[in-house]
């Protein structure tokens, strides 16, 4: 099966002071797939996201987006090219209401000078709120939303940008079981609509439920890659998560 590669990292290195956060990362994201990335805390998942989306510049290596070298591009240039992210620690525009949070993203997608009327923007924003299940909260200030609602809003804001590749950083972190189910359904919907999705997660239930392909990172190195079932039973991965003893047992 030869699938189109939409995003590729080539030999990415990133160092923070004495710590090497990423060493020689080579990953490929295929068009239309739902890729999961797992790894213990500090394994470099978020750093990788930051580098792909332009929030950090790699020390070495290149980022290739659909054949274009986008290494060192700023976040807004990446968004323009359809690479959109969410944050592990939610970052809604706190002082704004839910609808305006989405509106700002829509302004950016249509361009500040676009002739798209405010009425159309609001209509579009309401459709997104419907999709993420926050219609009844549109007038509420973002800072008074529950944690789960903030997570949804964050995904909604990303959707407003019509991403080609959506990178979700722990979308279910700190949520209740019911909320997690909502988010899983939402991510599946987004994926079924043709968006390529990359999810970083800790929650194994979520990651096994969602991902078609899985990459495991540990200490800044890719330690396993492939079918999710194979990856989670890979001794290296078990060892990284649970320590040496369990790795031997699981064999």
Chain residues binding another protein by CB under 8 A are 53, 55, 74-76, 79-80, 84-87, 91-97, 100, 103-105, 107-109, 112, 139, 141, 157-158, 160-161
Which pair of structure tokens corresponds to residue 52? Answer: 């792909």
Shortest distance in whole angstroms from residue 196 CB to another protein: 17
Shortest distance in whole angstroms from residue 54 CB to another protein: 8
Q: Which residue's CB is nearer to another protein, number 169 or number 225?
A: 169
Q: Tell me how far apart the alpha carbons of residues 222 and 10 are, in angstroms, rounded to a whole number.
A: 13
Q: Which residue's CB is nearer to another protein, number 91 or number 136?
A: 91
Q: Which residue's CB is nearer to another protein, number 13 or number 107?
A: 107
Q: Tell me how far apart the alpha carbons of residues 251 and 235 are, in angstroms, rounded to a whole number.
A: 7
Shortest distance in whole angstroms from residue 107 CB to another protein: 5
- Looking at the DSSP bridge assignments, the partners of residue 105 are none
Neighbour tally for 175: CB within 10 Å: 20
Q: Which residue's CB is nearer to another protein, number 60 or number 126?
A: 126
Shortest distance in whole angstroms from residue 99 CB to another protein: 10
From the CA atom positions of the chain, what is the Rg in Å? 18
Neighbour tally for 164: CB within 10 Å: 18
Q: Which residue's CB is nearer to another protein, number 138 or number 212?
A: 138
The CA-to-CA distance between both ends of the chain, in Å, stands at 30
Q: Tell me how far apart the alpha carbons of residues 182 and 249 are, in angstroms, rounded to a whole number.
A: 35
Shortest distance in whole angstroms from residue 139 CB to another protein: 5
């Amino acid at each position: 099966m030869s699938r189109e590669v939409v995003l590729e990292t080539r030999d990415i290195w990133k160092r923070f002071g004495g710590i090497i956060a990423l060493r020689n990362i080579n990953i490929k994201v295929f068009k239309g797939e739902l890729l999961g990335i797992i790894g213990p805390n500090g394994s470099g998942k978020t750093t990788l996201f930051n580098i792909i989306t332009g929030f950090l510049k790699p020390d070495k290596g290149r980022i290739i987006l659909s054949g274009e070298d986008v290494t060192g591009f700023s976040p807004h240039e990446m968004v323009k090219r359809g690479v959109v992210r969410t944050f592990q620690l939610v970052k809604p525009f706190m002082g704004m209401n839910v609808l305006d949070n989405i509106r700002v993203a829509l302004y950016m997608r249509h361009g500040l000078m676009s002739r798209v009327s405010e009425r159309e923007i609001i209509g579009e924003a309401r459709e997104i709120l419907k999709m993420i299940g926050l219609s009844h909260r549109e007038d509420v200030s973002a800072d008074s939303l529950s944690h789960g609602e903030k997570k949804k809003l964050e995904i909604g804001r990303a959707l407003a940008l019509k991403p080609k590749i959506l990178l979700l950083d722990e979308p279910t972190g700190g949520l209740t079981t019911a909320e997690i189910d909502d988010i899983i359904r939402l991510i599946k919907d987004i994926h079924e609509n043709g968006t390529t999705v990359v999810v970083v997660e800790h929650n194994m239930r979520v990651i096994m439920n969602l991902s078609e392909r899985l990459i495991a990172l540990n200490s800044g190195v890719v330690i396993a890659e492939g079918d999710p079932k194979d990856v989670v039973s890979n001794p290296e991965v078990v060892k990284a998560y649970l320590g040496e003893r369990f790795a031997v047992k699981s064999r």
